[in-house]
């Protein structure tokens, strides 16, 4: 199942209230980007946020499930599903977005200042 138009529009509107974002179509869903770096995937009307070695434990503490695909059976997961209900609570949404953006920054070698991802110098 692809991402519904309602879910896409609603999610991007909520994200945009917190940070500047862009999105583009990827396989059966959408990649969501902050400052050109992907921090989220929208698939099957679900939100998956990026995790790394320093942040995956936050997702696992809340029993969030990792993204799984039959194409990636033996690969480690870098994205975790957060409840769609997070969209209704901007504080919760911002918390998870910033964790994902920070994970993206670390994996891209940039830094986040004032909510903006910049390249490392």
> Given pLDDT bands bounded at 50, 70 and 90, which one contains residue 119?
very low
Residue 71: per-residue pLDDT: 46
All structural domains of the chain: 5-119 (3.30.1460.30)
Task: Give the residue among 82, 78, 77, 45 at the shortest CA–CA distance from 62.
Answer: 82
Give tens-digit pLDDT for 12-42.
999 999 999 999 998 889 999 999 999 999 9
Residue 21 CA to residue 34 CA, distance in Å, equals 5
Residue 34 CA to residue 22 CA, distance in Å, equals 7
Q: pTM of the entire structure?
A: 0.78
C-beta pairs of 81-85 under 8 Å, 24+ apart in sequence? 81/46, 81/47, 81/48, 82/47, 82/48, 82/49, 84/7, 84/45, 84/46, 84/47
Residue 107 CA to residue 39 CA, distance in Å, equals 10
Which 8-state DSSP code applies to residue 66?
B
Do the strands 29-34 and 116-119 form a parallel or antiparallel pair, or are they unpaired? unpaired
């Amino acid at each position: 199942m692809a991402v519904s138009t309602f879910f896409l529009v609603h999610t991007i509107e909520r994200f945009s209230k917190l940070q500047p974002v862009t999105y583009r179509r990827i396989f059966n869903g959408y990649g969501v980007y902050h400052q050109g770096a992907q921090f989220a995937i929208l698939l099957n009307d679900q939100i998956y946020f990026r995790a790394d070695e320093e942040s995956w434990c936050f997702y696992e503490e809340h029993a969030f499930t990792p993204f799984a695909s039959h194409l990636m059976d033996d690969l480690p997961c870098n994205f975790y599903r957060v409840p769609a209900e997070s969209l209704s609570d901007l504080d919760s949404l911002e918390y998870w977005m910033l964790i994902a953006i920070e994970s993206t920054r670390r994996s891209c070698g940039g830094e986040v200042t004032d909510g903006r991802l910049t390249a490392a110098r």
